[in-house]
Structure 1
Amino acid sequence: MPDITHPHFRQVSMSTPEAVSTDLSNAVALHKAGRLEEARSAYEQILGISPELNEAEHGLALIALDLGQQDKAISLITNCISKDPANLSYRFSLGVTLLQAGKPKDAETQFRKLIEDAPRMIEPHLYLARTLKALNRWTEGLDVLTIASKQFPNHGDIWMEKGQAERTLLQHAEAEQSFLKALNIDESDPDTLNNLAVVVRAQNRFEEALGLYFKALEIAPDNPKVHGNLGNVLSEMGLAYDAEHHLRKAAHLQPNDISSLYNLAVFLTREERAEEAIDFFNKVIKINP
């Protein structure tokens, strides 16, 4: 599925010829809905009429990126930039593509330049932090997010990324505050509740963590991460029957997820159910020899 937070899906250039503006809007809508083949055909038809229309070529680049064709995406985006060097959306797309293509240093350069040129554009801040994470430079990434959280205090994604960086750096109290900020912006996000529960649990507040996990499941009853984490907490609390239910639910919802299978195998080992545990360990090995 496409990243619908991308600026491409929020704007259609005012310079778009009126004759094709409706077609372009329709193509973007198809793309946003994940109907990639239809969107690609629509973008190509637009380029057949107006070959100079960069937005359509940019759309084709993003579809290539969605399909894992990074080299093709880089070529198309680079061509768009050559025709419109000041376009922030194209430059942002290049950074994202470089990151996905395994070129984080080049992506870092791109995102830093974007932040310098357009400091009020939120996406480069987020992606610079993610790029630094990919480079295992967590402290630098947290610094970027700390500054961004002051610039964009009402954006939950910033607080979520900040909390995740703090959690990785074992700054659990700080991470809790960041996740609470994100939760204040969107009280119904199960991922935020899940992340908050993880850091609350890390501070040995098990009952409070349970409440957060159950609240997340009220919103998203089939969220495998929540079931897995809840199962682990229940196991730590000695509530084996309930723990097994949630660990099995996580493994059922994600039958090829190594973490879910491994957690269930470890639980069964602790319960001295060796044969069952071995079955799940074998599934893990089959997925990742």
Structure 2
Amino acid sequence: MIYYYKISDKMTNYTKLKYYNFLLIPLMLLILIPAVSFGETGRNSKANIGILESLNKFGSTSYRSGMHKEAIQTFKQVIGIHRGYKAQYNLGCAYSKLDMHEDAIKSFKHSIKLRPDFADAHYHLGLVYVNSDMFKDAIQSFIQAVNLTPDNAEIHFNLGLAYSRLGMHEEEIESYNEAKRIDPEYIGIYNNLGVAYSKSGMYEEAIVSCRRAIEVNPDDVRVQTALGNAYASLGMYEEAIGPLKQAIKISPDDVRVYKALGNAYASLGMYEEAIDPLRLAININPDDADGHETLGIIYHHLNYRGLALEQYKIVRILDRQLAKKLFNVIIKKNSMLEVDTANGQEQSE
């Protein structure tokens, strides 16, 4: 939200002007900037108040039209007349649109200094911190905003996102649930709750939230994956297969989903079906020792001994400790000498 300096503080729709901004901007700057300079000696004059309102309308129109450089220039002129908290906030919003994070942070902090209880400035400062990967600072800003406007679902939701980036899933879930309490239909709330529950090991809760999210958006790969993993973690492997297949259909390059699907098939004793997703996983990431080990075990269960040994040899190059585990699974004691001869060094292991 961008604020005007109209005395009534009532927002006005100037979107029709966006089509003429390429003409208005040079004209407005030619008229208003000299007027600002002329009025410096009388900052509180009626003339300056009129200039202030005109500049704010113009800056807001530029901002809404995506002309953020022009908005920045205009809001700076506003601050030259009146260093109010709204002008600093507006400038911060314009800076943030251009990813000028340091300048945006300074402007929002100036706004907060002038009015510490200005919730929008705290909230948007938090958003800039998130975009700057400064998640601890973002959390503090969002908490300030929440304390000032506790019934704002959007702020609680973004606080949850900041917690998630630090792996603070308990706090993340609490924030999402508060957002859901305020607005049960808030976009993305069930998606993020389902993923957070799954990461926290709260699999039954994850299933409920993920299924609700999928009703609205079945193409969210994170939710389909989280649902599949939650089912698998509860031993519900048959139920896990559907969401994992859907996740692969949405995002066919995610190694973790292929492995999860392969493991689900393997847990059901469907070893032939497990082979393809596991092979696709290691095709995407050939250096995944864990994937090769799992595929080696699958081949062992199917008595494909030669293929199992091939996977063992690959794992032995990638991770010798993991190779020893696989060796113990696929090699029987009465076969030890044969493998020693084939590989040259197994006896020493």
Provide TM-score, normalisation by structure 2: 0.57
2:189 counterpart of 1:187: no
Separation (CA, whole Å) in 2 of partners of 1:252 and 1:7:
41
Deviation of residue 184 (structure 1)?
0.7
Q: Confirm whether residue 82 of structure 1 aligns to residue 76 of structure 2.
A: yes
Give the gaps of 5 or more residues in structure 2. Answer: 33-53, 264-273, 287-349
Displacement, 1:182? 0.6
Q: Deviations over 1:12-49 (max 9, x none)?
A: 95799xxxx99x5452xxxxxxxxxxx74244466699
Q: Does 1:7 align with 2:15?
A: no
Shift of 1:135: 4.0
Q: CA deviation at 1:129?
A: 1.7
**1:276 matched residue in structure 2:** 280
**Deviation string, structure 1 residues 48-67 (Cα, Å, up to 9, x no partner):** 997755434543344446xx
Cα RMSD (Å) of the superposition? Answer: 3.7
Specify the SS of the correspondent of 2:73.
helix
Provide the rounded CA distance (Å) in 1 between the counterparts of 2:171 and 2:184: 19
Q: Percent identity?
A: 19
- 1:228 paired residue number: 225
Correspondence for 1:107: 104
- Cα distance in 1 for partners of 2:86, 2:118 equals 10
Q: 1:277 to 1:121 in 2, by over 3 A?
A: same
The answer to whether structure 1 residue 216 and structure 2 residue 194 are counterparts is no
**How many residues of Structure 1 are paired with residues of Structure 2 in the alignment?**
247
Change in CA separation of 1:43 and 1:177 when aligned onto 2, cut-off 3 Å: same
Partners of 2:59 and 2:72 within 8 A in 1: no
Mark the CA change 1:225 to 1:89 in structure 2 (over 3 Å): closer, same or farther.
Answer: farther
Aligned CA distance change for structure 1 residues 264 and 150 (closer, same or farther; 3 Å): same
Deviation of residue 108 (structure 1)?
A: 1.5
The answer to whether the 8 Å contact 1:128/1:141 transfers is yes
Question: Which residue number corresponds to residue 312 of structure 2?
Answer: none
Three-state SS of the structure 1 residue aligned to 2:201 is coil
Distance 1:248 1:60 in 2: 46
**Does the CA-based 8 Å contact 1:126-1:161 persist in structure 2?**
no
How much does 1:79 deviate?
Answer: 2.1
1:99/1:107 contact within 8 Å kept: yes
For residues 50-106 of structure 1, the C-alpha deviation after alignment (integer angstroms, 9 at most, x for no partner) is 7755434543344446xxxxxxx23x1232123322476654343244345444332
Distance in 2, matches of 1:50 and 1:139, equals 41
Q: Which residue of 2 aligns with 1:148?
A: 145
Matches of 1:89 and 1:138 in 2, distance apart?
25
For structure 1, the 5+ residue unaligned runs are 1-5, 28-38, 66-72, 283-289
CA distance in 2, matches of 1:263, 1:123: 39
> Secondary structure at the residue paired with 1:84?
helix
Larger radius of gyration: 2
Q: 1:47-126 maps to which residues of 2 (within 5 A)? A: 53-54=54-55, 55-64=57-66, 73-74=68-69, 76-85=70-79, 86=82, 91-126=88-123
Secondary structure of 1:153's counterpart equals coil
- Does the 8 Å CA contact 2:95/2:104 hold for their aligned counterparts? yes
Relative to the length of structure 1, the TM-score reads: 0.67
Structure 1 pair 146–253 and aligned structure 2 pair: CA distance change class (3 A): same
* Distance in 2, Cα, partners of 1:140 & 1:280: 37
Q: Closer, same or farther in 2 for the Cα pair 1:279/1:97, shift >3 Å?
A: farther
The residue aligned with 1:68 is: none
> Following TM superposition, by how much is the alpha carbon of 1:160 offset from its aligned partner in structure 2, in angstroms?
1.3
The aligned amino acid for 2:19 is S
Are residues 1:264 and 2:257 paired?
yes
